[in-house]
Structure 1
Amino acid sequence: MSDSPNLLKESIGRYGIWSHGLRDEDPSLRAEIGDAAAELEQLGFGAAWLGGSSAVRHALPLLESTSALVVGTSIQSIWQYEAAESAAAFAEAESAHPGRFVLGLGVSHAKLHDQYRRPYSALVSYLDALDEAGVPANRRVLAALGPKTLDLAGTRAAGAIPYLVTPEHTARAREILGENALLAPEFKVVLETDPGKARAVARDVLALYLALPNYTNTWLGLGFTEDDFEDGGSDRLIDTFFAWGDEDRIRARINAFHEAGADHVALQVIDAGTREGLPREAWRKVAALLEA
Structure 2
Amino acid sequence: MSNALKETVGRYGIWSAGLRSEDPSRRGELAEATAELEQLGYGAVWLGGSSSARNAVPLIGATSRIAVGTSIQSIWQYTAAESAASFAELEQAHPGRFLLGLGVAHAKNTDGYRRPYSALVAHLDALDTAGVPAGRRLLAALGPRTIELARDRAAGSIPYLVTPEHTARSREILGETPLLAPELKVVLETDPTRARTLAREALSPYLALPNYTANFLRNGFTDSDLTDGGSDHLVDAVFAWGEDAQIRARIDDFRAAGADHVALQVVDGNTREELPREAWRRLASLLG
TM-score, length-scaled by structure 2: 0.98
Code of the aligned partner of 2:164: P
Code of the aligned partner of 2:6: K
- Find the aligned partners of 1:261 and 1:234 in 2 and give their Cα distance: 25
Alignment map for 1:144-155 (pairs within 5 Å): 144-155=141-152
Aligned pair in 2 of structure 1 residues 276, 92: CA closer, same or farther (>3 Å)? closer
Deviation per CA, 1:73-116: give whole Å up to 9, x if none.
Answer: 00000001111001001001111110000000000111111211
Give the superposed CA RMSD: 1.2
- Find the aligned partners of 2:145 and 2:258 in 1 and give their Cα distance: 19
Percent sequence identity over matched residues? 70
Name 2:40's counterpart in structure 1. 43
- Find the aligned partners of 2:98 and 2:129 in 1 and give their Cα distance: 19
Name 1:288's counterpart in structure 2. 285
Alignment map for 1:167-246 (pairs within 5 Å): 167-246=164-243
- Find the aligned partners of 1:274 and 1:137 in 2 and give their Cα distance: 35
Mark the runs of 5 or more structure 1 residues left unpaired by the alignment. Answer: none
Code of the aligned partner of 2:198: V
**Superposed displacement of residue 165, structure 1:** 0.5
Name 2:91's counterpart in structure 1. 94
TM-score, length-scaled by structure 1: 0.96
1:157 aligns with 2:154: yes
Of 62, 70, 81, 2:67 maps to 70
- Find the aligned partners of 2:67 and 2:118 in 1 and give their Cα distance: 29
1:264 aligns with 2:261: yes
1:104 aligns with 2:101: yes
- Find the aligned partners of 1:60 and 1:277 in 2 and give their Cα distance: 20
Deviation per CA, 1:210-259: give whole Å up to 9, x if none.
Answer: 00011011101111111111111111111111111000000000000010
1:11 aligns with 2:14: no
Say whether the 8 Å CA contact 1:20–1:277 is kept in structure 2: no
Mark the runs of 5 or more structure 2 residues left unpaired by the alignment. Answer: none
- Find the aligned partners of 1:85 and 1:35 in 2 and give their Cα distance: 28
Aligned pair in 2 of structure 1 residues 275, 194: CA closer, same or farther (>3 Å)? farther
Say whether the 8 Å CA contact 1:49–1:74 is kept in structure 2: yes
**Superposed displacement of residue 6, structure 1:** 2.9
